[in-house]
């Protein structure tokens, strides 16, 4: 199971990013556990200054804006 953290204050883009992660994981048949991190101090610990951010298995893979579907699928596969 992949551990995915969506970093952001809970804005519409952050919610859309979470939905995109769920959708991509479902399409790929990958089990994910999604945790939303909304605390700015926690987000800063990942070195992310622009949200939404995505952390997969402890590695920051995206920060700022909505991710591309193809990139998101590639991150989930690796």
In the sheet that holds 32-37, the strands lie side by side as 32-37, 2-7, 53-56, 59-63
- Distance between CA atoms of residues 27 and 6, nearest Å: 19
Task: Considering the candidates 4, 6, 7, 14, report the single residue annotated as catalytic.
Answer: 14
11 has catalytic annotation: yes
56 has catalytic annotation: no
- Distance between CA atoms of residues 47 and 26, nearest Å: 28
Task: Considering the candidates 3, 10, 11, 57, report the single residue annotated as catalytic.
Answer: 11
Q: Which residues are catalytic?
A: 11, 14
């Amino acid at each position: 199971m992949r551990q995915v953290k969506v970093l952001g204050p809970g804005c519409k883009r952050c919610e859309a990013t979470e939905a995109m992660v769920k959708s991509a994981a479902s399409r790929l048949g990958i089990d994910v556990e999604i945790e939303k991190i909304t605390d700015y101090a926690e987000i800063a610990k990942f070195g992310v200054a622009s949200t939404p951010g995505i952390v997969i298995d402890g590695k920051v893979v995206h920060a700022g804006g909505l991710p591309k579907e193809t990139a998101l699928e590639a991150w989930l596969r690796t």
